[in-house]
Structure 1
Amino acid sequence: MMYRGIEYLRTKLATHEQRAKMRYKHYAMKYNDAQIGITIPPEIRQKYRSVLGWCTKGVDALADRLVFREFANDDFNVNEIFADNNPDIFFDSAILSALVTSCSFVYVSKGDDDNVRLQVIESNNVTGIIDPITGLLTEGYAVLNRDDFGTPTLEAYFTAGRTDYYSKADANVTSITNDVEYPLLVPIIHRPDAVRPFGRSRITRAGMYWQKYAKRTLERADVTAEFYSFPQKYVTGISSDAEAMDSWKATVSSMLQFTSDNNGDKPTLGQFTTASMSPFTEQLRTAAAGFSGETGLTLDDLGFVSENPSSVEAIKASHENLRLAGRKAQRSLGSGLLNVAYIAACLRDDTPYLRYQFNKTTPKWEPLFEADASALSTIGDGALKINQALDGYIDKEVMRDITGIKGAE
């Protein structure tokens, strides 16, 4: 097989690295949008920088519902490999990284005790050439360590049956061979397709636009609130010989004294009409509606609480788009996790298994929405009637897949 080489992959990573970092900044609420506006000076807008976590909510709302359970029909005992690698953290980290930047990568290696180790690496440190048929890489490149300035100090180049480590400290290349027919770097991809084989991020361009739109609205509202709290006042008819007035004293004083001049003329007091805050509230709600439509959330999820509390069934119905997105994510991410299991089993047993041997091993997920007492009663009645028509059609495994409750042994 002809390989592109590590220099090609370094260039490819540099091309996509900033895009991945930008989405991580959106998720961490540290991204500073470009200042846009024609009325508020930049130095004033800088003082009222707003922070909004809608993109974070859009990712977490789906990531928190994607709970991986186990592999069924585990003929190769791959569940033991994941059980030895802190599964509570591993699965959540891999899923969250894939939702933020469209894909995450799992670096598979052997420890000193010959146990298989699984390490999740974010996509801004990894790239590779993907096989569109299997979803595995034909070659890969990863930055395993960086210094305080972001410069790579330890790199790895992955090919079939071999991993090369490049250390900046000693400028040496260390090669480790294995009996696996694919690189020990496995992508876990969210929503891949023929155009985007490395998937699509949960933080879409439209989602970033609506959050930016809302942040600008909040900044304008903050600036307007200053004038709303302290309305601008004016005085006309003051003699040119009068002593200049302290503007701050005129703002906060409870009593001001104005005397007439020698001709008996006296000043006239007035106040400018203050701007209303209502348009900003409506504008923010419009942005929330656009963002919720893009991500499958509801206005309740973004802080616009409705008057009447919803039941579990009503919440599930309102999150239908989120449920469909979750089912799609389970299929695509489950395929990546199965590839991780395949590569890990080959490395553990030092045996080049064939990919089709894992076809019967299937990933199992917990239900996206937990069943409440009412739903359990409805499901029980339905299961009883179905089993009366087809004896044994719904067993305890099927019930666990539907309800998420593990029954007694």
Structure 2
Amino acid sequence: MKKLSEKGIEYLRKKLEKHKPRVDLRYQHYDIKHHERNIGITIPPEIRNRYRSVLGWCAKGVDSLADRLVFREFENDNFEVMEIFEQNNPDIFFDSVVLSAMIASCAFVYISRGDNDEVRLQVVEASNATGVIDPITGLLTEGYAVLSRDEYGKPETEAYFLPYRTDFYFGGSYVKSIESNVAYPLLVPVVHRPDAVRPFGRSRITRSGIYYQSYAKRTLERADITAEFYSFPQKYVLGTDPDSEPLDGWKATISTMLEFTKGDGGDKPTIGQFTTPSMTPFTEQLKTAAAGFAGETGLTLDDLGFVSENPSSVEAIKASHENLRLAGRKAQRSLGAGLLNVAYLSACLRDDFSYLRSQFVLTKPKWEPLFEADANMLTMIGDGAIKLNQAIPGYITGETIRDLTGIEGGE
């Protein structure tokens, strides 16, 4: 029996169908499989299609931050939720959640019971799941996920998530329901950078980043076509005898020596070469696009392949990636809230008891440092810790040092 507050599975099916193309577009940009439209006015389409360029800046913009977000543990784990994650291949699970959320703005975690009554966690990308979110708790009031599709991409196995139960459909027809003692749907969103306007977050692949990558790809295509004329400059011959044999253009291009005889009037031909186009404007255009993309994503030109002459220290790298560090700290806060919701509902399902969400307020997600410490940084932190502990005994502990450096010391 459908409640008045429920939207229903048909509503969620249409909602997923509406948002799926935009998610698929961002996955295409990440997988470097998106083909740009031919918008040039000077190069014929058949020539441009021969020089299709491929560029992975969007993937670089995602991976450069996602690879730095390494989940460590839950602090004050009073409900022993880390045991649940340890049983679900955490090295792959956490990375998969973070990467999917970076690409599509959010990822979903489907919580279920296994054959041996263990709690299973499955990551479902945003192109196959949606729901109605509670902006206060970050949990869903109802959810929908496509668990499998047929060879034509149509939904085959579907799940409709409600408080205390999950309904399953196959081929569009209802199959069964599985009851639980959990007061929320067992589909949890893990959202990247949510706000009041976009509760399901924002993607790391922005429209501006897509534009700069497209601009750079068009520049590479033009440069590649121009390089053909740059490699083989066009030549010309003036004053040849009209009765002479036609000149073979390909032979004239690749031959090391050509012979031209005087005409009947004693005139000799004039040989010339057209000015070759310069490749410099394309290099400058590509660097301009790289600078725009780097500013959009918090990267540097070094990250995009424009290597500087002098190698940078860890401190210099951190200083140049200040925007990336701030984006990483923000991502840790938003993604950590989603992972805590996953831990909360997983504990409810494991213990077959509906805990209050307020009971998990002391449990905090902890992440490894965004930048690994080198020897110089360890020395500076050590000196600072000594001075602070001299001023306030016991202020800096081993756990504090680990949070700063990522190095786990002795007991």
Q: What's the TM-score bracket when you normalise by the shorter of the two chains?
A: over 0.9
Q: Deviations over 1:10-51 (max 9, x none)?
A: 111111101001100111111111122111111111111111
Supply the AA of the counterpart residue of 1:55.
Answer: C
Pick from 342, 356, 359 the counterpart of residue 358 of structure 2: 356
Which residue in the other structure is 1:129 paired with?
Answer: 132
Deviation of 1:104 after TM superposition, in Å, equals: 0.4
Paired with 1:213 and 1:36, the residues of 2 have a C-alpha distance of 11
Q: Distance in 1 between matches of 2:241 and 2:168?
A: 83
Alpha-carbon deviations, 1:359-389, whole Å to 9, x = none? Answer: 0000000000111111111111111111112
Aligned partners of 1:289, 1:373: CA distance in 2, in Å?
31
- TM-score normalised by structure 2 residue count: 0.98
Corresponding letter in the other structure for 1:81 = I
Residue matched to 1:111: 114
Paired residues of 2:146 and 2:158 also in contact (CA < 8 A): yes
Structure-to-structure mapping, 1:75-114, within 5 angstroms: 75-114=78-117
One of 250, 270, 273 as aligned partner of 2:272: 270
Task: Quote the residue 1:226 is aligned against.
Answer: 228
One-letter amino acid of the counterpart of residue 149, structure 2? R
* Structure 1 residue 238 displacement after superposition: 2.4
User: Would you say the 8 A contact 2:101–2:107 is kept in 1?
Assistant: yes
1:167 maps to 170
Decide whether the 8 Å contact of 2:97 with 2:107 is kept in 1: yes
Q: Which amino acid aligns with 1:315?
A: I
Q: Say which SS state the counterpart of residue 46 (structure 1) adopts.
A: helix
1:403 counterpart residue number:
405
Letter of the 1:45 partner, please give it: R
The corresponding residue for 1:51 is 54
Cα separation, 1, equivalents of 2:242 and 2:346 = 88
Confirm or deny: 8 A CA contact 2:227 2:279 kept in the other structure.
yes
Residue type of the alignment partner of 2:265: N
The equivalent of 1:67 in structure 2 is 70
The DSSP-based 3-state class of the residue aligned with 2:271 is strand
* TM-aligned CA deviation for residue 404 of structure 1: 0.6
Q: Which amino acid aligns with 2:333?
A: R
Contact 2:301/2:307, CA 8 A, preserved across alignment: yes
User: Aligned ranges for residues 253-332 of structure 1 at < 5 Å?
Assistant: 253-332=255-334
Q: Tell me, which stretches of 5 or more residues in structure 1 are unaligned? A: none
1:157 aligns with: 160
Instruction: Tell me the equivalent position of 1:179.
Output: 181
Residue 242 (structure 1) shift:
2.5
Q: What value does the CA root-mean-square deviation take over the aligned residues? A: 1.1
Q: Gaps spanning 5+ residues in structure 2: where?
A: none
Aligned partner of residue 57 in structure 1, secondary structure: helix
Structure 2: distance between partners of 1:145 and 1:259: 76
Residue number in structure 2 paired with 1:26: 29
Residue 341 of structure 1 and its aligned partner are, at CA, apart by: 0.2
How far residue 172 of structure 1 moved from its aligned partner, in angstroms, is: 4.2
Amino acid at match of 2:159: A
Q: Deviations over 1:116-159 (max 9, x none)?
A: 00000110111110000000011111110012221111111111
Structure 1 residue 237 displacement after superposition = 1.9
Higher deviation after alignment, 376-385 or 223-232: 376-385
* Equivalent residues of 2:167, 2:174 under 8 A apart: no
CA deviation vs aligned residue, 1:226-260 (integer Å, no higher than 9, x gap): 00000011112223332222221121111222222
Letter in 2 for 1:5: G
Query: Following superposition of structure 1 onto structure 2, how do residues 214-253 of structure 1 map, counting pairs within 5 Å?
Result: 214-253=216-255
Moved more, 338-347 or 249-258: 249-258
Whole-angstrom distance in 1 between the partners of 2:176 and 2:244: 85
The 2-side partners of 1:107 and 1:32 are apart by 33
- 3-state secondary structure, aligned to 1:93: helix
Q: Say whether the 8 Å CA contact 2:26–2:103 is kept in structure 1.
A: yes
Deviates more, 1:24-33 or 1:328-337: 24-33
Whole-Å separation in 2 of the counterparts to 1:68 and 1:356: 23
Q: Does the Cα contact within 8 Å between 2:134 and 2:140 map onto a contact in 1?
A: yes
Cα distance in 2 for partners of 1:134, 1:187 equals 11
Q: What's the secondary structure of 2:160's corresponding residue?
A: strand
Question: Counterpart of 1:107 in 2: which secondary structure?
Answer: strand
**Any idea what SS the aligned residue of 1:332 has?**
helix
* Identity between Structure 1 and Structure 2 (%): 72
**Which AA in structure 2 matches 1:16?**
H
- Aligned-partner residue type, residue 44 of structure 1: I
Q: Which deviates the most, 171-180 or 324-333? A: 171-180
In structure 2, how many angstroms separate the alpha carbons of the residues matched to 1:382 and 1:77? 34
Output the CA distance in 1 between the equivalents of 2:79 and 2:286.
53
State the aligned residue count.
Answer: 408
Q: Please give the TM-score of this superposition, normalised by the length of structure 1.
A: 0.98
Q: Which residue identity is paired with 1:200? A: R
- Return the alpha-carbon distance in structure 2 between the equivalents of residues 25 and 289 of structure 1: 23
Partner of 1:394: 396
